[in-house]
Amino acid sequence: MITMSPLNSVLDRMVTLSRAMDESFRNGNGATQASAETFWVPAVDAWETEHAFVVQLDLPGVKADQVDLSFERNTLTITGNRAPSLRAPEQGELRVFFAERTSGTFTRSLRFPQYVEGGKIEATFNDGVLTITVPKAEAAKPRKIAINAGEVGQISA
């Protein structure tokens, strides 16, 4: 069963804030305020299971060796580069009718609660989709607490 609760989950809030911060550094033509280098923000899905947080990024046209992952202070950072699909010809003229696919560098950062296993993070890259699994620490997993049956009012030492 899938439960979607936008704005109720801590993870949803982290992703929303991350996206807003990433986009705030862009001006109208997709360039960063600090430089003329192109910048794009790949789409992210993130969810929580009983045992892990899972993050997926759509990275069409990007190869696995063009992506770097790092985890420091409970923050997962994904950086990379997508090469331009249009290249100037060596000879002659190039007539472009549409050029809507953004290329350039990207960075996404997601902060997780302190109860994750940073040393056990796994990532796979398949069909242009990067999937990152961040396992929860044992302290974060739900556990059943046994209730000892006894006489009312008795306290065992």
What pLDDT does residue 122 have? 97
For residue 124, list its beta bridge partners: 131
Are 111 and 74 a contacting pair, CB within 8 Å? yes
**Residue 123: count of CB within 10 angstroms of its CB:** 15
What pLDDT does residue 58 have? 95
Which residues touch 20 (CB under 8 Å, ≥6 apart)?
none
What pLDDT does residue 30 have? 45
For residue 70, list its beta bridge partners: 77
At 140, the amino acid letter reads A
Distance (Å, whole) CA 73 – CA 96: 45
From first CA to last CA, the distance across the chain in angstroms is 45
Distance (Å, whole) CA 117 – CA 108: 20
pTM of the model: 0.67
Are 82 and 59 a contacting pair, CB within 8 Å? yes
What pLDDT does residue 35 have? 44
What pLDDT does residue 55 have? 96
What pLDDT does residue 34 have? 41
CA atoms within 13 A on the CB side of 59: 29
pLDDT averaged per 10 residues in sequence order, the chain, 157 residues: 51 64 53 54 91 94 94 94 82 80 90 89 96 89 81 61
Backbone angles phi, psi at 155, to 5 degrees: -120, 125
Q: Which tokens go with 75?
A: 């923050």
Are 42 and 59 a contacting pair, CB within 8 Å? yes
For residue 103, list its beta bridge partners: none
The CATH topology of domain 10-86+95-140 is Immunoglobulin-like (2.60.40)
Per domain, the residue ranges of the chain are 10-86+95-140
